[in-house]
Structure 1
Amino acid sequence: MKLTASSSIPGNIPDTMEAMTLVGHGDFDMLQHNSAVAVPTILDNQVLIKVSAAGVNNTDINTRTAWYSKSSANSKDASWSGQALTFPRIQGADVCGEIVAVGKNVDPQRIGQRVLIEPCITHVNGKKLTSPWYFGSECDGGFAQYTSVDAVHAYAINSALSDIELASFPCSYSTAENMLTKANVSSQERVLITGASGGVGSAAVQLAKARGAFVIAITSREKREQLLSIGADQVIDRSDNLLTVLASNSVDVVIDLVAGKQWPQLLELLRPGGRYAVAGAIGGPMVDLDVRTLYLKDLSLFGCTVLQAGVFQALIKHIEQNNIKPLIAEVYALKDIPAAQRSFSQKQHVGKIVIDIK
């Protein structure tokens, strides 16, 4: 989609900004700190946002390393959407900031609003995309002092939480809420969550509890108390045999972020008519499926990438009503994103790693 800038930027906003740019697929040396990147010029239906903080996600690492490619790092399917990535690219999907300029079709009263950006992009300059983008993948994201997005994806937020705390929510919590929505989780259901100490997993624990579910979390033994403190009713060590600790047909819903070798046990745990939702494969993308388990138990499997309508608005409501709380593991400066990604990849944290861009 070729776009032409059509809205001017106020004179008090600089022409250039500090940003972390991804210049190609590969190791940490593909991340380059640059203090002279052009500030985005917004289109008629867009807003310019001064970024305050931005969270780190699996997608940042997966995109950099070409993990999404199903063939090789040199192929043209190594992005979130399965298309070739355009470099240089500014990553960063979790953004909290302030609107400082608007396109001519956007209400000027939005200037000054504190906002969170919906990371699943469905509209560009007022036109609906045939295939959604991911903020910081198919378009530049928030690892910079300024970023731009269609106004419909910039949600005003009224909260006493800090910018760093708010930046922990958009990607992980909307992903978790989307999984729970697609799986239609309701009160009193037994919900099993894998990878429960990560950003999405810990979000799913809180959001499932907000729905009144009984939450069973899988994590490492040393993170047990932290998961209990945010609402998990039961915590299982990830090295345990799930069918030994739990019983077959004992779970209504599985929220999976891990996949890997343990995956067949997840379907065995589901009751007849159970639902399985997946939005990650940090344990490995290739799994063994006995199709008899799938059809004889009448299971429903949900892949969860594109946000359902209303999911992000529901998340904003949860934040403003204090139904969920931010979990901040570490905070880094913009220039230290390589170090933040190293720490993220070690998986020793609970909650979110956030970049402070003020």
Structure 2
Amino acid sequence: MGVPDVMRAVRVTRHGGPEVLELAEVAVPAPQAGEVLVRVGAVALNNTDLWTREGAYGSPDDPEALSGWRGPIDFPRIQGADVAGRVAAVGTGVREDLVGRRVVVDPAIYETTGLDAHPVGLMGSERDGGYAAYVTAPVERVHDVTESPLTDDQLATLPTAYGTALGMIERGRLRAGETALVSGASGGVGLALVQIARARGARVLAISSGSKTEAVRAAGAHDVVDRAGGIPAQVRASAPEGVDVVLDVVAGELVGEGLPLLREGGRWVIAGALGGYDVAFDVRRLYLHNAQVIGSSMHTPAHFGLLMDLARRAEVQPVVAAVFPLDRAAQAQEELSRREHVGKIVMHP
């Protein structure tokens, strides 16, 4: 089947609420040299979608400035970082036999070409993303997962959530036999952290609450701490010798309250600020115990390669909470913002 000239896409037209999302007919992008065109089978939603739309990232000089993931956004912008689909066409210099292959797109825009490069941009923020029927991507960012038993919906959940989780676990040097504490464990990144840490052979404590507790246990948590019940005391009761690595997407007051929970040489890895970005802690708990606080933004190309190996072998089982059609993108983002679900929300173009 040929590639059409136009497609439906959802674009963000300015910073604001769900009302700034518009469904439009736009030209199908042509793959440039070294690029492929992917027909989107599924696109997953992330908190990044909400914060980019809202302009909530701030800037180094002004925490309250309206900003995308790494700076000002060029509007209109097609959102959507997480894409699974099939290669529909290739640009010059790209192998023709990739056409028809089932792929996952690494959404990161990297600072350099090395395997350990850090992301400095993101598909759906710094370039157009997958809230559309088609999206282009550099061929080196496209990973063949044709043989994976995972569905397109499951594969689409992987890039940002599981990529972020694997980046945190790698940067935190989590090893088999260590104890890991996961905050925000019922969210997309949180469930990914639980699954991957358990697969690594760690003892996993997870922070969650209410009806979500059983889903977090099912994902692999050895014990679940109720976030409404005094977290430090519960963690001490479950892990009296302390925690080796905290995998944190919440931050806020949790950092100051929880830092004394780290064992000697412990690592606190932060990849989000759901609980607030203004953090205070007793620095003595850091230097007297050779502890580390580590910032982790997504993944490196090497991390993403490891993630795709997990996907091909189905060693992780992503949880899909809900599926929406593309023309209900605003409702899908509102559902995401309520944080009442467990797992990931996916759209079908």
- 2:203 corresponds to: 214
For the pair 1:101 / 2:101, whether they are aligned, the reply is no
Q: Determine if contact 1:98/1:112 at 8 Å carries over to the other structure.
A: yes
For the pair 1:302 / 2:303, whether they are aligned, the reply is no
Alignment of 1:197-346 (within 5 A): 197-247=186-236, 250-346=242-338
Shift of residue 271 of structure 1?
0.7
Instruction: Pick which of 219-228 and 137-146 moved more.
Output: 219-228
2:253 alignment partner, SS class: coil
Give CA-to-partner distance per residue, 1:275-319, whole Å, 9 cap, x none. 111111111111112111111111112111152341111111112
For the pair 1:351 / 2:340, whether they are aligned, the reply is no
- 1:122 corresponds to: 110
Alignment of 1:26-105 (within 5 A): 26-34=16-24, 36-70=25-59, 71=62, 75=65, 78-81=67-70, 83-105=71-93
Shift of residue 72 of structure 1?
7.1
Distance (whole Å) between structure 2 residues aligned to residue 89 and residue 173 of structure 1:
24
1:266 alignment partner, SS class: helix
Distance (whole Å) between structure 1 residues aligned to residue 244 and residue 263 of structure 2:
6
Alignment of 1:173-192 (within 5 A): 173-192=162-181
Q: Determine if contact 2:148/2:312 at 8 Å carries over to the other structure.
A: yes
Gaps of 5+ in 1: 1-10
Q: Determine if contact 2:57/2:63 at 8 Å carries over to the other structure.
A: no
Distance (whole Å) between structure 2 residues aligned to residue 14 and residue 85 of structure 1:
28
Instruction: Pick which of 18-27 and 293-302 moved more.
Output: 293-302
Counterpart residue identity of residue 213, structure 1: A
Cα–Cα, structure 1 residues 190 and 51, in superposed 2: closer, same or farther, change >3 Å? same
Q: Runs of 4+ in structure 1 displaced over 4 angstroms? A: none
- 1:144 corresponds to: 132
Distance (whole Å) between structure 2 residues aligned to residue 141 and residue 130 of structure 1:
19
Q: Determine if contact 1:51/1:96 at 8 Å carries over to the other structure.
A: yes
Q: Determine if contact 2:35/2:94 at 8 Å carries over to the other structure.
A: yes
Cα–Cα, structure 1 residues 124 and 293, in superposed 2: closer, same or farther, change >3 Å? closer
Shift of residue 131 of structure 1?
6.5
Distance (whole Å) between structure 2 residues aligned to residue 346 and residue 240 of structure 1:
21
Shift of residue 106 of structure 1?
0.8
Give CA-to-partner distance per residue, 1:115-174, whole Å, 9 cap, x none. 00112122899xxx9972111100000000000010000100021222112111111001
Distance (whole Å) between structure 1 residues aligned to residue 153 and residue 212 of structure 2:
23
Give CA-to-partner distance per residue, 1:226-284, whole Å, 9 cap, x none. 11111100000111222211227610000000012222122111111001111111111
Cα–Cα, structure 1 residues 238 and 142, in superposed 2: closer, same or farther, change >3 Å? same
Give CA-to-partner distance per residue, 1:33-67, whole Å, 9 cap, x none. 11x21111211010000101000000000011111
Shift of residue 198 of structure 1?
0.2
Gaps of 5+ in 2: none
Q: Determine if contact 2:206/2:216 at 8 Å carries over to the other structure.
A: yes
Q: Determine if contact 1:175/1:305 at 8 Å carries over to the other structure.
A: yes
- The structure with higher relative contact order (CA 8 Å, sep 6+) is 2
Q: Determine if contact 1:124/1:150 at 8 Å carries over to the other structure.
A: no
Counterpart residue identity of residue 319, structure 2: L
Counterpart residue identity of residue 242, structure 2: S
Q: Determine if contact 2:150/2:311 at 8 Å carries over to the other structure.
A: no
Q: Determine if contact 2:251/2:275 at 8 Å carries over to the other structure.
A: yes
Q: Determine if contact 1:25/1:64 at 8 Å carries over to the other structure.
A: yes
Over aligned residues, Cα RMSD in angstroms?
2.1
Counterpart residue identity of residue 117, structure 1: V
Distance (whole Å) between structure 2 residues aligned to residue 160 and residue 51 of structure 1:
18
Distance (whole Å) between structure 2 residues aligned to residue 68 and residue 171 of structure 1:
17
TM-score of the superposition, structure 1-length normalised? 0.91
Q: Determine if contact 1:249/1:268 at 8 Å carries over to the other structure.
A: no
Distance (whole Å) between structure 2 residues aligned to residue 72 and residue 289 of structure 1:
19
Counterpart residue identity of residue 206, structure 1: Q
Percent identity of paired positions between Structure 1 and Structure 2? 39
Counterpart residue identity of residue 282, structure 1: L
Instruction: Pick which of 229-238 and 162-171 moved more.
Output: 162-171
